[in-house]
Amino acid sequence: MNHQREIFSSSQPLILESGTALESFDLIYDTYGKLNHSKDNVILIFHAFSGSHHAAGKLDRDENVGWWDSFIGPNKVFDTNKNYIICINNLGSCFGSTGPSSLNKSTNKPYGINFPEISVKDWNQAILRLLLSLNISIINLAVGSSLGGMQVMDIISKKDIDVRKGIIIGATHKPRQLNILLNHVQRSILKLGKNSDALKVARMLSHVSYISNDFLKERFQYNRESLETKISDDIIYESENYLSYHGEKFVKRFDKDTFSLMTKAMDNFYFDETKINNISSKVLLLSFDDDLLFPTKDMLEFHKLLKMKGVNSEHKDLKGTRGHDSFLYLTKEYKHELEKFINS
């Protein structure tokens, strides 16, 4: 598989939805496969909240394969033998694109909490500038899960790019009140301390909303953690150890200011229903029956809204395996629905 990693640098100011300007910015992105002569075989993949541009494969500098490696590659669901696949790290993230941990050239210090408020529309505005630099004006397929699904909703409603198909997985077209409160509590935890413990606990709280009770029961039952493998003395159950382990793992790769920035962007995303008439894309909406974060009824509500406006939309509710995180794990049913839509 032809796997490349590039950095797009823009020296032109980006006017954000808040009215603030980023005088310049970088976007890091990975590509898979080859762009054809007519430049119409592009699949644009949007990552989720804690994801990155590294969607598949493994370059020499990478410790692990990408987060959707079972989906992307030769003869896989998103086939690199036929398609040119692009995955871009969003502005404000902490994996190489300009964000809170980046150097603010005007102060010669990291932006930190002073990084400007950013939105889903801002992310896509920056991405469209990158695509323009590559002379790409046609997206054959845009795909995103969770936060990335919100970006697909936005980009298929834009007039300045031709998106032929869109797949939206486990997302919502407007914020849920419980999610707003959950994110508020997580940001409040981050304000309690500057050390890594605050970020660890905030992530543990969010992780609970990503999984399901059935997954926990099936994997852990009520098994107690052994003394030798306990992460901390107060842990009793294997499930607690699992959550603590993932919290500690998260701290090593993520930034607390990015955490706050991106949860606010999710809380403030409202799909502009007046732009539904702009949508010419064929749309597939996928939800999971055990998703607590973005339940099936939310996706069904968006589907009905699209159908009412004449959009070629279909909705499938899939059997979940991990709650909201089910989008990361390819089942037979999941693969079938994706491939059926791609080949339609």
Active site (catalytic) residues? 146, 291, 324
Report the candidate in 202, 264, 203, 253 with the shortest Cα–Cα distance to residue 96: 253
Tell me which H or E stretch contains 77.
none
CB distance 262 to 116 below 8 Å: no
Q: How far is residue 28's CA from residue 242's CA, in Å, rounded to a whole number? A: 31
CB distance 48 to 151 below 8 Å: no
Which amino acid is residue 77, in one-letter code? V
Tokens of 193: 């301390």
Distance of CA 339 to the CA centre of its chain: 21
Q: How far is residue 282's CA from residue 340's CA, in Å, rounded to a whole number? A: 13
Determine the 3-state secondary structure of 8 from DSSP: strand
Which amino acid is residue 292, in one-letter code? L
Kindly give, in sequence order, each residue whose CB lies less than 8 Å from that of residue 217, ignoring residues fewer than 6 positions away.
Answer: none
3-state helix, strand, coil in the chain (%, to 5): 35, 20, 45
Tokens of 334: 């999941």
